Chains A and B, each alone.
Chain A
Amino acid sequence: MGKNVKIKRGLDIVLEGQPENKVYNVTAPATFAIKPKDFKGLIPKLLVKQGDEVKAGDCLFTDKGNSSICFTSPVSGEIAEIVRGDRRAILEVKILADLEMSYKLFDTSGFSSKSRDEIKNLMLEAGLWPFIVQRPFGVLADTDVSPKAIHVSGFDSAPLAPDLNISLQGEEFNLKVGFEVLKMLTDGTVHLNLHTKKDKNVYSQVSGVEINTFEGPHPSGLVGVQINQLDPINKGDVVWTIKPQHVAFIGKFFSTGNLNLEQTIAIGGSEFNTPGYYKSRVGASVGNMLSGSLKQDNIRVISGNVLTGSKIAQDGYLGFSDNQLSIIPEGDQYELLGWLVPSYPRPTLSPSLPISRFLKKTFRVNTNPHGEPRAYVVTGQYEKVMPMDIMPQQLVKAVLAKDLELMENLGIYEVIEEDMALCEFVCTSKISVQQVLSEGLELMAEES
């Protein structure tokens, strides 16, 4: 029997441009891209070259450290370009999509009687493996371990997040199959963590997993917070996490034998005219969804949410794991005495900005940090948005000091960047918490 947990510490940041309950069909974009930078620790080894024809499910590149992990094409078409950056690092593998999709065929029939290794191999070959995130460190999952548990957060509490009951509508059967596959990957428990009050119809067919319920402000929907409450990660433990939309991909794959990465994403934010749900696909170019609906040009397009997402161009590509786009104005304006008399409301946890804190409910937020980086002065702030048994500021300081033993003792195995994004948001000293933590995680991963 699962647990019911009430999260108390946290913060819901309510932004203008919440996605409305309406699903739009837009014409499929011409190009798609897979970005190696979306995967932590990956060194890609390219298998295709410009001009090659690929089917949906064909391998584009593998991981140099483990060549069995394929990163496959989400569509069929022609390799349009391999975009390289500094020192020839591969930034994007672009594919010009066919009008008529053709899929590589995988033999998934009777998957429930297949062995764990066969299931794994199919997932690896089809490029579904990279959807699994392994903790500690939030890296690509190890192919030869059985994790202590697999956790799936069934809801998203981030700002402007999609309501998964809308974005996963019609995926009930795929979710059921997907969870059956997940159960075959571990000797431990598969946890499905749902919101206590929100609708959970899309999960109605899922069975045989441990259902836990959560309520409270963001980050209650973060899987890291849920793991910490349910069954914290200790030294030596390996835990996998995967998002429900990706579980549906797995389900669809095993019931059809095709890698079909169609998904419904949410687009929101104050600078977007028609916030709502859009039919799309992993790696899709976002240009045609945004064109004509942007209120102005000086905007930031974020693949993912405003706390953890990545900045992309207005005609850039959706991140591999993202099912959300956030469109907010840039904050590159000077503000006269803005620290003293703010000229517009801005989200805050500080009662020293009473209008923003207590009166204003939704915000048109921009990318100005509202102050410059400083040394740590204020204390007790991170704790208010950190519903884990972790001492956040001490952990960040341990990372800054590169004290590996202290990092381990303070629980660095239990967190990844997104878990501390709110700490970064509230920080008076404007410390780049996620970047610092990322360096710490990298350091620890190298050492272990």
Chain B
Amino acid sequence: MKFLRDQVDKLKPTFSEGGKLSFLHSTFDAFETFLFVPNHTTQNGSHIRDGIDLKRTMFIVVIALVPALLFGMWNVGHQQSLALTGTDGDLAGNFWVGLLQTLPIIIVSYAVGLGIEMGFAQFRGHAVNEGFLVTGMLIPLVMPPDVPLWMVALATAFAVVIGKEVFGGTGMNLLNPALTARMFLYIGYPSSMSGDSVWAALPEGASTVDAYSGATALGNLASASSAGEGWNSSLLQGASIMPSFLGNIQGSIGETSVVAILIGAVILVAAGVGSWKIMASTFLGGLFMGWIFNVLGGNGAWMDIPSFYHLIIGGFAFGAVFMATDPVSAAQTETGKWVYGFLIGVITVLIRVFNPGYPEGIMMAILLMNVFAPLIDYYVVQSNIKTRLKRVQA
């Protein structure tokens, strides 16, 4: 430790004000504080402080994403194998293929995002905020495996600059940056983000086996609904509930496995980092709205699919656990969190059922509720204010 510290201290003047590389001050500072918690001491107010900080908080979210990431890597290889040969492929081989496909996306996302963040930090004279550690991992996980790298770069840049920095950086943004990135690509390049051909990463020019279908459950359900067909479980990939739960199906890199996502949810909740209120209420909202449609009944698979299926297909679980719980863009009051999550669940199902053109609703629902979260908070705060005013009159 002493040796390392000496090295850092030796480099420090070069990057400090007046040094040759002082234009990289924020970047140096970010690396230094990553390596060493600073030797500052409290100067006013409480002399002692909690051991938790933003670095640790963000790092825990990244840890919680690891199960979904690892499973996603395997699944990318698995899906390629299914498409090319019709076989399952072996574990190591699938993982290797997935790693080669996924790693560049992750690297591009971090490189572009952190680069911009460090530039902004330097420009503003701020410290580099840790928020992008999480965003940089979320972006690859919500991309289809076959996404071109330049799109990842473009979307990341858009999300960081327009989604976050123009509002003032981490903590100030209105929308979830990772979903902003996905939304940007969905609107700008829809053919690369949805449809039947984007869910398996295939080598250039390769052709799929005849029996291969690239359709996801969401796609199947949407086309069945528009054709007026009712629900039956063959619409799910693998034609049963288990694959949707385990996740060996097509979808964005990190979103398919409900099991891996639930492991992440347990980590987030146990560490006190993710809001269990938002997760629970999102699931409840989805369940409730699905049930309403079941009761109403009607023609179409989306109307009569048993409501718990809503929670395990598509990106619902991933959105509920990792996206809706982003504390900055979510509701910030405790009561507000219940309302916010519940409405995300409800709107997700509404979009799925009523908008056949775009079968997945969770992204839209979360972004929409991001926009409404301050309003929800406003009403919660008003109710506190009203109680106080009532006390005066009494």
Contact = CB atoms under 8 A, between A and B. Distances in A.
Contact of B36 (A234, A334, A434): A334
Interface string B320-341: 0000000110101110010000
A102 interface: no
Nearest to B271: A352
A34 interface: no
A306 B48 contact: yes
A204 interface: no
Interface residues of B, number: 58
Interface in B149-187: 168-172
Contacts of B272: 350-352
B51 A342 contact: yes
A334 B48 contact: no
A348 B271 CA distance: 12
Interface string A323-347: 0001010111111111110100011
A446 B140 CA distance: 52
11 contacts: A235-B392, A340-B55, A346-B51, A351-B272, A380-B327, A389-B388, A393-B332, A410-B384, A410-B385, A424-B49, A430-B49
Interface of A: 13, 159, 232, 234-236, 300, 302, 306-309, 311, 326, 328, 330-340, 342, 346-353, 356, 365-372, 374-380, 383, 389-391, 393-394, 409-411, 417, 421-422, 424-430, 432-435
Interface stretch (B56-64, B101-109, B246-254, B292-300): B56-64
A351 B391 CA distance: 37
Contacts of A232: 391
Nearest to B9: A334
B54 A368 contact: no
Q: Which 4 A-B pairs have the closest CB atoms?
A: A371-B53, A375-B171, A338-B37, A434-B45
Contact of A425 (B39, B48, B387): B48
A370 B59 contact: no
A13 B171 contact: no
Contacts of A390: 384
B208 interface: no
Contacts of B381: 391, 394, 410
Nearest to B330: A379
A353 B51 CA distance: 8
Interface in B115-129: 127, 129
A331 B4 CA distance: 19
Nearest to A234: B392
Given A370-B37, A377-B54, A434 B49 contact: no
Contacts of A330: 41
B1 interface: yes
B36 A367 contact: no
B59 A340 contact: yes
Contact of B37 (A371, A422, A425): A371
B384 A389 contact: yes
A307 B51 contact: no
Contacts of A349: 50, 52
A368 B41 CA distance: 5
A348 to B, nearest CB: 4
Interface in B28-52: 33, 35-42, 44-52
Nearest to B127: A372
Interface string B256-289: 0000000000000011110100000000000000
A356 B131 CA distance: 25
Contacts of B130: 374
Given A159-B48, A371-B37, 18 more contacts: A300-B41, A300-B47, A306-B48, A328-B47, A337-B35, A351-B271, A352-B52, A352-B60, A368-B41, A370-B50, A372-B38, A374-B171, A375-B170, A379-B333, A410-B384, A425-B49, A428-B52, A430-B49
Given A336-B1, A427-B50, A374 B56 contact: no
Contacts of A300: 41, 47
A12 to B, nearest CB: 13
A76 B49 CA distance: 40
A374 B327 CA distance: 14
